[in-house]
Amino acid sequence: MSDFTPNEMMTIAASRALTSEDVCFVGIGAPSAACNVARLTHAPDITLIYESGTIGTAPDVLPLSIGDGELCDTALTTVPVPEMFRYWLQGGRITIGFLGAAQLDKYGNINTTVVGDYEKPKVRLPGGGGAPEIATSSGQVYITMAQSKRGMVEKIDFFTSFGHGEGGDHRKRLGIDTKGPTLLITDLAIWKPDPETKEFTVVSLHPGVTREMVQETCGWPVKFAVELEETPPPTELELSTLRDLKARTDAAHKGGGPAAKRGAKDG
């Protein structure tokens, strides 16, 4: 078995959570890599949808943004953004919404708006985009992020995307009938919400990771499952698929044009 990085383990662990039956609303970055690894390995019939309105897209290289031409080029169809949100997302046709986070709390609430005070932030982040709607209207939400005390915090600075709020039945009390965040995949572990409190709990440690390593990179007291598992390491197929995808992407984006992309595909 080849050596693998924590980020590769995170991406592959996230990809394993998807099936060919899923209709997945994909975020850019780690979610996009995970969804496409799933499509290229064990879930060939998965339907990938990006916020720009591309449905059934099968990119050969990872998109730089939702406006990347690669998405439209490889999609079954492209619909207007209002139709994407009203008919597909709010119409209950998305099984999995895949999101990243700049800040995350233990109940799966996400901040991608500002770090610090809203009026005078330390950092102004990209904003919500479609994430708030994805968080409430997708059947379930999967979150991927690298662990750090800066990112996994006791209290987020801004509620961009609603997870489980204050925990418990908070979503239900607000009239949100979707499941919300059901899975958090980091570069160190796999987390699932407690059935009652909805607090994220570590259910599986990635190979070589200790409880101490997870706690050192998390801003709240971590809870671990009684029967803690170890995440199976990446297979050769999973690893080669991810690395080939990244290599094609790097080659295409270095050149910056259609010819570079064609070269990456031909190579």
Handedness of CA 174, 179, 185, 191 (dihedral sign): positive
C-alpha to C-alpha distance for 98 and 89, rounded to whole angstroms: 13
C-alpha to C-alpha distance for 143 and 165, rounded to whole angstroms: 15
From 51, 70, 199, 238, the catalytic residue = 51
C-alpha to C-alpha distance for 31 and 144, rounded to whole angstroms: 7
Owner of token pair 């990179």: 217
C-alpha to C-alpha distance for 245 and 239, rounded to whole angstroms: 10
C-alpha to C-alpha distance for 44 and 25, rounded to whole angstroms: 16
DSSP state, 6? H
- Give start and end residues of each alpha helix (H) in the chain: 6-16, 30-40, 69-74, 81-83, 131-137, 170-173, 211-216, 236-255, 258-266
| Residue 132 burial class via C-beta count within 10 angstroms: exposed 0-12, middle 13-18, buried 19 and up | middle
51 catalytic per annotation: yes
Indicate the residue type of 224.
Answer: F
Q: Which residues are catalytic?
A: 51
